[in-house]
Structure 1
Amino acid sequence: MTQPPGVPAAEQRTRWLGGLAVFLMAMTPLVGYLAPLGSATVLTLVGLLATPGLARSRPPVLPMFALLLLVLWAVISLAWSPAAPHWGDFKRSKDLEDLTILKLVLEVGLYATAYAALGGMSTRSARLASRVMAVGVILLALLTFLDGLSKGVVYMALRQLSGDPVKPDIAVVKVSMGTYTMVLLFWPVVRLLDAWKFPGRNILIALTALMILIGAHLTGADAPIAAMLLAGVAWLGVRLIGKPFVRAMIPIVSAIFIFAPMAILWAVRSGLFAWLHVLAPPSWDARLNIWAYAANLTVDHALRGWGFDAARTFLGIPLHTHNAALQLWLELGSVGAALAAAFFAWILYRIVGQTEENRRDGAMAAATLTAFLVIGGVSFGVWQEWWLALGVIAAIACGVAQKTSAAAK
């Protein structure tokens, strides 16, 4: 079969990976709006289909090593976890599907495969995926903004057409979930729009950011607003200061994971939490109670933790701690917290290298990581597969944006 003129062979061999990247970037905003929990299914499918592309990839060894150790420690901790499954109860395949530790092991393999394999796609393959991603995120921001203003009219109309109607209050809650997707993918889109250098790109970036913030506010999603603002600080800091700013993030992020329960206990004993209880709205007031309760529990088993998934067994904690660092301390002890700190420290070291090559790429990566850590610090459980999937999709999006932006110079 003859090669088309002017197209290198390497470009031809990544059509499959490019197609998977386009599929992922098209489905993520769509699923983010209609069924956010479906992001795990989408990424799992991509991971399965991308397995042949692993031959071209060069996965980051050190972060993966820390992550694998963390998962191994989680498996070991089932020996003393009050949430450990009783294997005799698993008589149907549906029972196994609900097994969190099994899902976690599979996720690590398939999510890592998707990230590593898609990292090997060619620049040409990344271009189309980047366009699809940018259009999808901007349209999702517009939809969320309109639904926020109209109290979910668009979302309710779509659900009505599907034969599954919802009430206005439920519609608004469902729409708010899409803001988490947008906050993570916004920064790769900023990198793309900046690289394409078309007239009015800064206005489009500002309008998209404004629609995300207003949409989040109108739908009652506080965490994405905080994540957007703090990620903006990280983005600006890297753009203006460069590597020193990213280096300064390493001890800060590590300290959050290492000292989380000690900081909470100090805040309780010093009276800071009592003062915050007076000011906090109900949802944040509940978080303060959960954090104080979880921090007290970590003292009993500070080294080994209470065991994987133990948080859901305590009456004072509804499913999880709403704080990633505290949940890791509670369930996996100081060992789990240290491994998580090492994982994110290694990621930040890689961002230092990116920043040295191109500050815009470093700013994008630092902002995306900040958004993920902020939301994980106040909202979701560590082991929620859809949230972990969104984090990996955001990392893939950063890779797509970096390849495309480098080619646009």
Structure 2
Amino acid sequence: MVPGRLYAAGAALLASMPLVMALANRSSPAVVGLAALLFLAGRASEDRAAAGRALAGPLRTPLGVAALAFLGWCLASLAWSPFPAASFRSAGEFLPVLVAAYVLARLAPGRIPAFAAPLAAAAIVAAGLFVAGSLAAGLPIQKVLGQRIADFVFNRPALTLSLVAGPLALVLWRQGRRLPAFAALAFSALGILRSVSGAAALGLIAGTAVFALARLLPRRAAIGLCGLMLGLALALAPVEGDLLERVMPEAAHARLTQSSSRARVAIARSFGAAVAADPWRGAGFGVAPRFAETPVAARLEPDMRGLLAVGHPHNSFLQVWAELGIVGAGLAALVSMLTLRTLSGAAPAERATALALIAAGTAIAFVEHNAWAAWWTAGLGAAITWLREAFRLRQASLLREAAPRPPSSLDRTAP
């Protein structure tokens, strides 16, 4: 198959992801994996050496080295994991999707056909309408298919929308497609706010607020604000439960009954106690589903052990601390800060969109899901791919503006 057709197929898959997730809420890893394979095949058929350089080059930068060191520590922790099968299962879910997301984000930008962004906007519009309509009608399609009838079935699609919509809208804006850009933002917000996912709504609020601030504040202040937010998210994760226990009023718990706020606070306190009992190396990568059976759990007070069996701490930063200790948390902080440093030279709109994506992801990760969930990794990979495409379009625009113009007839006849 010629490269153009491979790129078109991969781009169509990438564009369809929001709608496919709304129809099947665990589908994004397969979509991203297939799209990455198609772009890899296309780039390799064009120039295998160039494709290799595109993939290997970033790994030699400080950010790439830090990311590899973090992954190396994850793998090293398998040596002391009390449940190797659980650790390998988590690694087997997370690492292949991470590789696919990296391949897609590195190889797709610059090879995404022009039709893909409007198609993705249409997919977001359809996904937002499908989520809102299905919930309003009582999930009729799920009933017909014999699927589980629960409002939270759309939480993962809503979280995916909160990641993808902003970067895609910037791509559309750079292409001169203003109406599809606004439609993508509006209908993603519809799906997010109509869903029962408080985490997705929190991500939408955080992303919107940081985008606005990043457009108003000087470059260093905007990046510093995000750095402070990320640093606090990591530093406060082990004591999150104790802090919320002391400062969160009963009225707030009453309003957040649907979000199980009391249980979340108790879960955070239990995992925080586990971090305090073993702060250095952690219990081992991917052991969260069996954390209640780990040796560190046996050292805790009985009233702190029960909620360790929930599967994960509902805070990705706290999960990193509990599984990977202070070394893993430190490496995660280093990766975060180096990522922010790469945005210092970006154009204002691209920088603001990237910071908004970081803010949305941070807010969601602080309150929701397993850190190594494949669907989450795939959603981040898709969002970064669209963001890098927007960066590329901006760079191409600057190059066109800087290119010398051919002389016109007036130039030739001028005295």
Determine if the TM-score, normalized by the shorter chain, exceeds 0.5: yes
Q: Which amino acid aligns with 1:395?
A: I
Give the residue type in structure 2 aligned to 1:179.
A
Is 1:104 paired with 2:111? no
Provide the C-alpha distance between the structure 1 equivalents of 2:378 and 2:397, rounded to a whole number of angstroms.
28
Is 1:25 the counterpart of 2:14? The answer is yes
Any unmatched runs of 5+ in structure 1?
1-12, 87-95
Tell me the alpha carbon deviations over residues 198-234 of structure 1, each in whole angstroms, 9 at most, x when there is no partner.
Answer: 6767864664355234322xxx111111110110011
- 2:276 pairs with one of 278, 299, 306: 299
CA radius of gyration, larger in:
2
The 5 A counterparts of 1:56-67 are: 57=54, 58-59=57-58, 61-67=61-67
| Paired residue type of 1:105 | L
- Match of 1:230, SS state, is helix
TM-score normalised by length of structure 1: 0.80
Q: Equivalent pairs: percent with the same residue?
A: 21
Match of 2:147 in 1: 166
| Corresponding position: 1:55 with 2:52 | yes
Q: Are the aligned partners of 1:77 and 1:332 in contact in 2 as well (CA < 8 Å)?
A: yes
- Mean Cα deviation higher: 193-202 or 378-387: 193-202
Q: What residue in structure 2 maps to residue 83 of structure 1?
A: 83
Seen in structure 2, the aligned counterparts of structure 1 residues 404 and 25 have a Cα distance that, compared at 3 Å, is farther
Matched, 1:211 2:190: yes
Secondary structure class of the residue paired with 2:207: helix
Report the equivalent of 1:229: 205
Could you tell me whether the CA contact under 8 Å between 2:81 and 2:284 is conserved in 1?
Answer: yes
For residues 353 and 224 of structure 1, do their structure 2 counterparts lie closer, same or farther at Cα, with a shift above 3 Å needed? same
CA distance in 2, matches of 1:116, 1:360: 21
Of 346, 349, 356 in structure 1, the residue corresponding to residue 341 of structure 2 is 349
Give me the whole-angstrom Cα distance separating, in 2, the residues matched to 1:199 and 1:30.
21
- CA deviation digits over 1:4-34, x for unaligned, max 9? xxxxxxxxx9635632541332331232111
* Residue in structure 2 matching 1:187, options 166, 172, 180: 166
Q: Secondary structure of the residue that 1:309 maps to in structure 2?
A: coil
Q: Which residue of 2 aligns with 1:72?
A: 72
- Report deviation, 1:261: 0.8
Partner residue in 2 for 1:42: 31
| Shift of residue 399, structure 1, vs aligned partner | 1.7
Following TM superposition, by how much is the alpha carbon of 1:387 offset from its aligned partner in structure 2, in angstroms? 1.0
Query: How is 1:7-406 mapped onto 2 (pairs within 5 angstroms)?
Result: 15=4, 18-52=7-41, 53=43, 54-55=51-52, 57=54, 58-59=57-58, 61-85=61-85, 99-119=89-109, 121-122=110-111, 125-153=112-140, 155-156=141-142, 160=144, 164-166=145-147, 169-170=149-150, 172-197=151-176, 204=183, 207-208=186-187, 210-216=189-195, 220-243=196-219, 244-268=221-245, 271-273=246-248, 275=250, 277=253, 280-281=256-257, 283-313=260-290, 314=292, 315-317=306-308, 318-354=310-346, 358-404=347-393
- Native 8 Å contact 1:273 1:288 kept in 2: no
- Determine the structure 2 residue equivalent to 1:3: none
SS at match of 1:81: coil
CA positional deviation for 1:194: 3.6
Q: Deviations over 1:336-392 (max 9, x none)?
A: 1111111121221122222xxx21111111111221221121111111111111111
What secondary structure is seen at the aligned counterpart in 2 of 1:36? Answer: coil
Q: Residues 187 and 368 of structure 1 are in contact (CA less than 8 Å); yes or no, is this contact kept in structure 2?
A: yes
Work out whether residues 227 and 371 of structure 1, in 8 Å CA contact, stay in contact via their aligned partners in 2: yes
Q: CA separation of 1:394/1:200 partners in 2, compared to 1, >3 Å: closer, same or farther?
A: closer
Segments ≥4 residues shifted beyond 6 Å: none
Report the RMSD for the aligned CA atoms in angstroms: 2.8
Contact 2:280–2:325 (CA<8 Å) still a contact in 1? Answer: yes
